[in-house]
């Protein structure tokens, strides 16, 4: 541990500094935090810059920065899907998100399930959307801890206590400051990450003999491994997986409740639009970070093994440890550690809002005041974080990674109701419920049937579903979530037609066409009345 | 509901032929045959890596154009 004393001091200093900022954030643009609009959405007043840092800090998490290079380190080109994924996502959601912003602004909606509730007049469908969001978000929060854990491990800090302390601090300032805390901290986090990466991509290749040598070393490594799927280029069998995984992940990204939280906190439509052009700056960063995986190969990094299992997530921290002087390695660790705090805070706020708005207010206390809503959300955000810590401490971390993988497939099943719902009211609520159920089932069955000998999994071994299992004579794989979404859409359409033919009662649409184009100064209605049958 | 009837507001829309431009940065980065090769290299990067990084420019351009055109059309 003493070898790392400088790193630990720098790390701790920066960590304490941003924690202080987290507490001070409650006074930033001072407002009465006793309402969800203020505590959970920062007053819906964030301008372009704050939104850019907030959404950037929200989507490009510490886990991404650790796991994507780890993927390239282990499998090569396939791991680079993260780049096209984050390029495609912004043009894909550009028009969709401004509609969501507008309708949420008019009706005071806080969560995606709020929208579904109003649009389709179906509390049951809204509950399904809310639960899906919660299930997908929880393991994501736990994963952020893995980012911190990887850094602590590399610094030789063992034991659970540091992790618990870090999360306790996070929980405390999120409780106090709400969304203002991650918004303020995101400035520091992203600035640190930009500095670290700029230094890394100039300094490390120079020490390793240039990019040519780095790619050469990666190519040599993959040529020597027996695995057929790896390499620095794609092969005939994993191209479809690359495409569908990138597209499927892009479709899923803004269905996650925490992404929606970041968007709804924007001040007006222009802020959202401008960010769709500006957020790709982070994609450049991500593409370069991904290549750290190859640099680790060229530098001959061997991941830390605990209990006989190599932890690939440690390759990036180890690379920094080997390449940089101690003080700068400390800065890079702080960047990763703080990088975990921002998304973890936003995710727990989003999960708390889902519980408050779509379970507490819908089923437990219909006449809840804004102050009661804010209080319930604050407490839920604490519960969510305790849950995440327990998951990491008590269960094999691999389980969180598996769960997060499932989370992506699961959240995609809300696309017909949330994303298509913003455009069309054609689907019948029964159709959407049936499609959701069919997509979920199909997704789970597929994931269950994916094995991965490399991590000793007979089931839930990844998201690449072999088409051969459907009886097709091919070695190709496809992203399970994508296939599940197709099943979902087909069933939703068929049941809609059947429900219309049977003249089944449809829910009442609480929104008007003009709501989807409303802007900052347009009149807002009271929150949508809770009507409709279960 | 306290919303005024929608016909009292100026008719708004997000429809525009320029929106089709958004398809370019969606389709091209997902067309693997365009870039799944080593040569030509750029600064030691195989094509697969530098071209995909370059696609970021496509995305930024398309979203910026659609945003700016939309602003002019709505007269602001």
| pLDDT tens for each residue of A396-444 | 766 767 777 788 899 999 999 999 999 999 999 999 999 999 999 999 9
Across the interface, which of B45, B56, B62 has its CB nearest the CB of A284? Answer: B56
Mean pLDDT across A196-212: 90
Q: Which two tokens stand for residue A86?
A: 């984050």
Give the residue with greater pLDDT, A351 vs A229.
Answer: A351
Closest residue of chain B to A246, computed from CA coordinates = B30
Structural contact between residues A347 and A141, judged by C-beta atoms closer than 8 angstroms: yes
> End-to-end alpha-carbon separation of chain A, Å?
58
Q: Which two tokens stand for residue A430?
A: 């029964």
Mean pLDDT across B42-71: 90
Residues on chain A touching B23 (C-beta within 8 angstroms): 91
| pLDDT tens for each residue of A91-120 | 988 889 989 999 998 998 999 999 999 999
Mean pLDDT across A467-479: 84
Q: Which two tokens stand for residue A457?
A: 């999994």
Structural contact between residues A38 and A361, judged by C-beta atoms closer than 8 angstroms: no
In this predicted structure, what is the pLDDT of residue A2?
53
* CATH entry 1.20.1730.10 includes domain A2-412: yes
- Whether A533 has a pLDDT exceeding 50, the answer reads no
C-alpha closest to that of A176 among A356, A352, A375, A350: A375
Q: Which two tokens stand for residue A435?
A: 């499609």
| pLDDT tens for each residue of B1-20 | 444 444 444 556 777 888 88
d(Cα A126, Cα A532) in Å, to the nearest integer? 12
B42 near A CB under 8 A: no
Q: Which stretches of A104-157 are assigned E, i.e. beta strand? A: none
Across the interface, which of B4, B55, B71 has its CB nearest the CB of A523? Answer: B4
What is the dihedral angle through the alpha carbons of A76, A82, A84, A88, rounded to the nearest 10 degrees? Answer: 170
d(Cα A364, Cα A148) in Å, to the nearest integer? 36
d(Cα A236, Cα B11) in Å, to the nearest integer? 50
DSSP annotation of A306: E
Are residues B22 and A92, on separate chains, in Cβ contact within 8 Å? yes
Q: For A50, list phi and psi in degrees, rounded to 5.
A: -60, -45
Residues in CB range of A484: below 8 A, 6 or more apart: A409, A412, A413, A439, A440, A442, A443, A446
- Whether A178 has a pLDDT exceeding 90, the answer reads no
Mean pLDDT across A493-519: 88
In this predicted structure, what is the pLDDT of residue A499?
92
Q: Which two tokens stand for residue B56?
A: 């970021």
Q: What is the mean pLDDT of chain A?
A: 86
In this predicted structure, what is the pLDDT of residue A520?
80
Closest residue of chain A to B63, computed from CA coordinates = A277
Q: Which of A30-44, A163-177, A482-496 is modeled with the greatest confidence?
A: A482-496
Are residues B3 and A523, on separate chains, in Cβ contact within 8 Å? yes
| pLDDT tens for each residue of A7-32 | 888 888 988 888 888 888 888 777 77
ipTM for this prediction: 0.84
Mean pLDDT across A57-78: 85
Alpha carbon of A90: minimum distance to chain B alpha carbons (Å) = 7
In this predicted structure, what is the pLDDT of residue B8?
46
- Whether B21 has a pLDDT exceeding 80, the answer reads yes
Across the interface, which of B23, B29, B66 has its CB nearest the CB of A84? Answer: B29
In this predicted structure, what is the pLDDT of residue B54?
93
Give domain limits for chain A.
2-412
Alpha carbon of A4: minimum distance to chain B alpha carbons (Å) = 34
């Amino acid at each position: 541990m003493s070898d790392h004393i400088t790193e630990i001091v720098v790390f701790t200093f920066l960590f304490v500094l941003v924690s202080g900022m987290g507490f001070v954030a409650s006074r930033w643009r001072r407002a009465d935090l006793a309402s969800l609009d203020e505590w959970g959405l920062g007053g819906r007043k964030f301008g372009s810059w704050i939104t850019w840092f907030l959404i950037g800090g929200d989507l490009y998490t510490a886990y991404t920065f650790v796991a994507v290079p780890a993927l390239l380190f282990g499998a090569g080109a396939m791991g680079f899907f993260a780049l096209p994924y984050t390029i495609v996502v912004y043009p894909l959601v550009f028009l969709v998100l401004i509609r969501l912003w507008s309708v949420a602004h008019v009706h005071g909606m806080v969560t995606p399930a709020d929208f579904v509730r109003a649009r389709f007049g179906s509390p049951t469908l809204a509950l399904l959307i809310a639960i899906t969001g919660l299930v997908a978000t929880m393991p994501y929060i736990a994963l952020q801890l893995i980012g911190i854990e990887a850094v602590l491990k590399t610094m030789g800090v063992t034991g659970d206590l540091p992790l618990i302390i870090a999360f306790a601090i996070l929980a405390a300032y999120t409780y106090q400051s709400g969304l203002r805390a991650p918004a303020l901290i995101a400035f520091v986090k992203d600035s640190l990450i930009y500095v670290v990466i700029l230094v890394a991509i100039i300094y490390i290749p120079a020490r390793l003999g240039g990019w040519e040598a780095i790619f050469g070393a990666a190519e040599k490594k993959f040529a020597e491994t027996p695995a057929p799927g790896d390499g620095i280029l794609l092969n005939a069998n994993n191209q479809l997986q690359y495409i569908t995984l990138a597209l499927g992940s892009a479709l899923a990204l803004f269905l996650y409740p925490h992404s929606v939280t970041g968007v709804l906190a924007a001040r007006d439509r222009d802020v959202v639009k401008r960010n769709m052009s500006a957020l790709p700056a982070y994609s450049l960063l991500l593409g370069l970070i991904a290549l750290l995986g190859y640099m680790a190969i060229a530098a001959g990094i061997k991941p830390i093994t605990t209990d006989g299992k190599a932890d690939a997530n440690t390759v990036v921290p180890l690379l920094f440890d080997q390449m940089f002087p101690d003080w700068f390695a400390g800065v890079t660790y702080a960047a990763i550690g703080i990088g975990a705090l921002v998304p973890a805070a936003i995710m727990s706020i989003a999960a708390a809002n889902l519980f408050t708005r779509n379970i507490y207010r819908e089923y437990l206390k219909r006449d809840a005041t804004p102050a009661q809503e804010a209080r319930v959300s604050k407490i839920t955000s604490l519960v969510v974080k305790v849950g995440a810590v327990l998951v990491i401490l008590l269960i094999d971390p691999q389980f969180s990674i598996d769960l997060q993988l499932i989370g992506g497939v699961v959240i995609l099943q809300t696309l017909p109701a949330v994303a298509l719902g913003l455009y069309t009211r054609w689907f019948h609520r029964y159709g959407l419920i049936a499609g959701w159920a069919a997509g979920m089932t199909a997704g789970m069955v597929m994931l269950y049937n994916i094995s991965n000998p490399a991590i000793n999994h007979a089931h839930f071994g990844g998201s690449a579903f072999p088409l051969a299992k459907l009886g097709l004579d091919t070695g190709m794989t496809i992203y399970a979530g994508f296939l599940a979404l197709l099943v979902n859409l087909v069933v939703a359409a068929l049941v809609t037609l059947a429900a219309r033919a049977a003249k089944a009662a449809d829910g009442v649409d609480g929104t008007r066409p003009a709501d989807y184009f409303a802007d900052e100064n347009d009149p807002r209605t009271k929150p949508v009345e809770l009507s409709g049958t279960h | 509901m306290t919303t005024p009837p929608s016909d009292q507001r100026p008719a708004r829309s997000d429809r525009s032929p320029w929106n089709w431009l958004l398809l370019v940065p969606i389709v091209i980065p997902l067309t693997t045959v365009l870039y799944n090769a080593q040569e030509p290299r750029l600064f030691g990067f195989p094509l697969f890596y530098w071209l995909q990084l370059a696609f970021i420019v496509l995305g930024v351009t398309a979203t910026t154009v659609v945003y700016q055109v939309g602003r002019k059309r709505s007269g602001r």
